[in-house]
Structure 1
Amino acid sequence: LMDLATETAKYVFPKRFESQNLEEALMAVPDLETVKFKVLSRRGQYEIREVESYFIAETTMPGRTGFDLNGASRSFNVLAEYLFGKNTKRETMEMTTPVITRKTQSDGEKMEMTTPVISKKLEDQDKWQMSFVMPSKYGANLPLPKDPSVRIKEVPKKVVAVVAFSGFVTDEDVKRRELKLRDALKGDRQFRVKEGASVEVAQYNPPFTLPFTRRNEIALEVERKEE
C-alpha cells in the first residue's frame, strides 16, 4: 500500500520526489513558484537564509489575531480576487507560495500563484498583514489592484533566521516559537536579531492539507554582528 501511495504521489507531484523519501516529499512545498533564497548556515534549531528581493500584494487582516479562521479566510479571499483578475488589467496571475502573515513594524488581470502566504503583525495598531508573493516574471510591472485595501510592495533583499514546523498555526504557537527563536539567536556568534524585527509566518500549503504534512516557517530578520 505504501509503495502504491508513493508511486501515485510521484505522478501527481513529480518535483517533490527529487532525492526525497515519501515523508520528506509530503512535507515539501507545493509545485509552485516560491521566494528565492540561499542557505548561509544551519544551526541546531534554525537556519540562516539570504532571501532575494520580491514583490507582494498585501492587505491588513481584520480583528486582533493573525490566525483566526474567519479573518484569515477573508484576507485570503481579498488577495485571491486581485490575483485572479480584480485588477486594472483584468489579468489572471499564477499562484505562488508561501502565503505570508506578519506583524508589521510601526514604521481585471490574472497572475500565477506563488508560495508562501505571509502574515506580519502591525506592532502599534496590533494588526496583522497577510501577503501573497507575486510571480517573479512581472517584476515591478504588476497590475494595480482595484480593491484599495490591497497594496503592492517590494520586499528588499534580507537575511533571516528560520524555523520550519508542521501542523496548524495558532497565535499561541507563533508566540512560543518566536520567543524560542529569539532566545536561540542570543547565543549565535555571527548573527543577531535586527532591531525592530517582527515575526513573519510563512504557510506553504492549501487549507485542506493534513496537519502532519503542512509546511510552515517562522522567520526573524537578522544582521551580522560587528567584528
Structure 2
Amino acid sequence: MALVAAPAQRRAPGDPALDDPGAEYGYRDEIAAVLLSEQDLRAKVRELAVAVAADHDVDTPPLLVCVLKGAVMFLTDFVRAMPIPTELEFMAVTSYGSATTSSGVVRILKDLDRDITGRRIIIVEDIIDSGLTLSWLLKNLASRNPAAIDVVALLRKPEAVKVDVDVRYVGFDLPNEFVVGYGLDYAERYRDLPYVGLLGEHMYR
C-alpha cells in the first residue's frame, strides 16, 4: 500500500519569511516546497527493496529494468538496499519531450542489451502519472516472453492516471502537481536535487 505524502508548505517566489529549498542547489526561487525529504526517500527505498526481495530468492535473482533517465537515482539506492543479488538492464523511452504531461506517443531511445526470455523482470520506475508510458512498456516487454513482470514505482499520482496499470510495489502517492528532484526533471533540470519538490508554477507556465 502506498504512503500518501503529507501536504507541502507552499511559498511565494522571493518570500523571505520561508527558507528557499532550491537555493542551496543553485535553483533560487524555483522550488515551491519540499514534498519528500531525503530521509523520507531513504526509508521508503529500503522498505521497497525488502518487499521486492521477499518475493524472490537468491537462486533466481530478478532482472531490474531501469527506465532512464528519471529512475536512475531510485535504482541506485534501491539496488544497494536489496538483500539478494540482482542484475541490471536499462531502457530509455520518451513520451514527454519538454512538456509537463505525457503525449501518450512512446518512442524507444535505448533498448535492452539482452534477451529476457524466461526471466523475472522488475521494471523500476520513478513516477507513474498517466500510466500511458508504463502500459506501453509492459506490453512491449511481455511480447519478449519473460517469466513474469512486476513494477516497482517510487511515486504515483492517482488523480492523473488514465490507464489502469497493475503496479505491485508503490512508494508514495502524490497530488497531481509537477514535481522534480531525485531524478525527476523539467527540461533536464532539477534531477540532482536530493529530495522530491514541487516546481514553482512560474517556472513552466
Query: Scaled by the length of structure 2, what TM-score is found?
Result: 0.27
> Per residue, is there more strand in 1 or in 2?
1
Query: Scaled by the length of structure 1, what TM-score is found?
Result: 0.25
